[in-house]
């Protein structure tokens, strides 16, 4: 039996033509069969039963099966002998964001005898795949990497001549716009990589799309020369044409987006939101509305016509939280508040100057708040919120989180 570890892969492959003479290609299996690798104890079916079924069809020689396991987000694998190069595309761990999904699969190809079902070889491998969506387009890409980490078994064609193939496949509402494919040795030695490009045809207001990379193993020495294909597929994503005035685009809508309000960018605006969320316990997870009537009612409730204007009009503006563009705005709240804080120890004062609203006790949490802040800050905050809605494709009914940093 020959066993190569990942660190020796390039050397081992370089020596194959010397180490494996022509006569060994037809060499009989060793007297004592290769021990079954520990991870191969469950390959989806009972190997002896599968071997017996193949024998009943008149086949004999060697056959294969594949076992794979998708890593969970946050998980990593650093076991001895695993190079992990294929997983580097994901930074070593699966991830899912609003516009990207990285998947890692660990698998093993088992090579066993027919009719007795004894494992004589295996190839342990890692597949990683990064799918990147575009918030301003219906096109996306999927990069796919394969690396064999270890190979075990005698130097026979049923092990040495194994190859892996991959090609893009649409699963829902998509077309392949540019094909990326793989066809090469499945043994350790180098990372096999390709990138495929997909596009979704317009599907109305919003619709789901899905694609993946289909891969399989092949060897003319096996009784069935190819394995059943596997699919490396990211999560289903959502495309839409639901933002008037903006291009169509796609996101992973299962991920709740986060709107970061930067303190250094607009101090008064950020301070208002920070106090509303952290001090008065107003909700930080909001639900967007695109209903213009509700948006108007939210603003008029928070900042009613004729509200007392500052003495220098044109430089100050009425700011409300929760935002008027959410189902959680002032129109749906039981009461509003004017925020006024004063510390005798530091002489710190923060006054929102919304004099038409009470300064309610701190124990009266929730409701909505209003603050008179510099017009430039309010305009910039509103522009950033609008850009966030677009880049994260936050639609009517979508939740998002507000975070002041």
Question: Mean pLDDT highest for which of 52-56, 70-74, 84-88, 306-310?
Answer: 52-56
Is 238 within 8 Å of 383 (Cβ atoms)?
no
Q: What is the mean pLDDT of the chain?
A: 85
Cα 126 to Cα 77: distance, rounded to the nearest angstrom: 10
| pLDDT band at residue 85 under the 50/70/90 scheme | low
At a CB cut-off of 8 Å and minimum separation 6, what does 171 contact?
210, 211, 212, 231, 233
At a CB cut-off of 8 Å and minimum separation 6, what does 122 contact?
37, 40, 108, 109, 110, 111, 150, 151, 152, 153
pLDDT at residue 377 tops 90: yes
Is 179 within 8 Å of 168 (Cβ atoms)?
yes
Structure-block tokens of residue 274: 């920070």
| pLDDT band at residue 86 under the 50/70/90 scheme | low
Average pLDDT over residues 186-212: 95
- The dihedral built from the CA positions of residue 208, 211, 212 and 218, taken in this order, carries a sign that is positive
Cα 42 to Cα 198: distance, rounded to the nearest angstrom: 35
Res 109: pLDDT: 95
Is 239 within 8 Å of 138 (Cβ atoms)?
yes
- The pLDDT tens digits for 304-332 are 998 887 767 678 999 999 999 999 999 99
Q: Phi/psi class of residue 315: alpha, beta or left (left: φ > 0; alpha: ψ in -120 to 50)? A: alpha
| pLDDT band at residue 14 under the 50/70/90 scheme | very low
Average pLDDT over residues 39-64: 77
pLDDT-above-90 percentage for the chain: 68
What are the DSSP calls for 145-166, one per residue? EEEEEEEEE-SSHHHHT-EEEE
Res 8: pLDDT: 32
pLDDT-above-70 percentage for the chain: 82
| pLDDT band at residue 80 under the 50/70/90 scheme | very low
Average pLDDT over residues 210-217: 96
313 DSSP 8-state letter: T
- The pLDDT tens digits for 122-164 are 999 999 999 999 999 999 999 999 999 999 999 999 999 999 9
CB-based burial label for 41 (10 Å; 0-12, 13-18, 19+): exposed
Res 342: pLDDT: 67
Q: Answer with the residue of higher pLDDT: 81 or 213.
A: 213
The two beta strands, 399-404 and 285-287, are: antiparallel
- Residue that is written with structure tokens 């001549």 in the block: 161
Average pLDDT over residues 359-377: 89
- The pLDDT tens digits for 242-262 are 999 999 999 999 999 999 999
Is 336 within 8 Å of 367 (Cβ atoms)?
yes
Average pLDDT over residues 336-344: 79
Query: Picking from 155-164, 182-191, 204-213, 343-352, which range would have the lowest pLDDT averaged per residue?
Result: 343-352
Cα 250 to Cα 376: distance, rounded to the nearest angstrom: 32
- Closest CA relative to residue 217, chosen from 104, 63, 90: 63
Res 43: pLDDT: 64
Res 163: pLDDT: 97
Res 36: pLDDT: 35
pLDDT at residue 348 tops 80: no
**Domain positions in the chain:** 2-251, 258-404
- Closest CA relative to residue 130, chosen from 118, 144, 117, 113: 144
Give the bridge partners for 348, in sequence order.
343
């Amino acid at each position: 039996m020959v066993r190569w570890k990942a660190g020796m892969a390039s050397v081992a492959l370089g020596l194959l033509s010397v180490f494996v003479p022509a006569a060994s290609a037809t060499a009989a299996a060793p007297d004592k069969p290769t021990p079954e690798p520990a991870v191969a104890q469950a390959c989806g079916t009972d190997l002896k039963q599968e071997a017996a079924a193949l024998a009943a069809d008149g086949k004999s020689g060697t056959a294969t099966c594949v076992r794979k396991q998708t890593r969970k987000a946050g998980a990593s694998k650093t076991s001895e002998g695993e190079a992990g190069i294929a997983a580097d595309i994901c930074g070593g761990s699966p991830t899912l964001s609003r516009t990207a999904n990285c998947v890692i699969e660990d698998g093993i190809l088992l090579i066993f005898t027919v009719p007795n079902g004894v494992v004589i070889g295996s190839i342990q491998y890692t597949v990683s795949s990064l799918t990147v969506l575009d918030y301003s387009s219906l096109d996306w890409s999927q990069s796919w990497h394969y690396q064999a980490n270890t190979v075990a078994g005698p130097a026979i064609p049923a092990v040495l001549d194994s190859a892996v193939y991959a090609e893009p496949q649409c699963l829902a509402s998509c077309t392949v716009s540019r094909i990326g494919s793989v066809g090469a040795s499945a043994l350790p030695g180098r990372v096999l990589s390709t990138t495929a490009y997909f596009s979704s045809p317009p599907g109305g207001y919003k619709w789901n799309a899905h694609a993946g990379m289909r891969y399989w193993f092949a060897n003319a020495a096996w009784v069935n020369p190819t394995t059943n294909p596997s699919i490396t597929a990211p999560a289903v994503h959502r495309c839409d044409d639901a933002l008037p005035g903006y291009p169509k685009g796609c996101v992973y809508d299962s991920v709740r987006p986060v709107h970061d309000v930067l303190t250094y960018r607009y101090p008064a605006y950020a301070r208002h939101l920070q106090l509303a969320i952290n001090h008065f316990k107003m909700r930080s997870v909001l639900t967007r509305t695109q209903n213009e009537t509700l948006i108007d009612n939210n603003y008029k409730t928070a900042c009613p016509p004729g509200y007392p204007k500052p003495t220098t009009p044109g430089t100050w503006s009425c700011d409300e939280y929760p935002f008027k563009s959410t189902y959680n705005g002032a129109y749906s709240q039981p009461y509003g508040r004017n925020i006024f804080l004063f510390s005798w120890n530091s002489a710190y004062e923060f006054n929102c100057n919304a004099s038409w609203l009470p300064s309610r006790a701190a124990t009266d949490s929730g409701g909505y708040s209003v603050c008179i802040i510099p017009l430039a800050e309010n305009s910039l905050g509103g522009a950033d919120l609008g850009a966030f809605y677009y880049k994260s494709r936050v639609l009517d009914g979508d939740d998002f989180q507000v975070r002041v940093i």
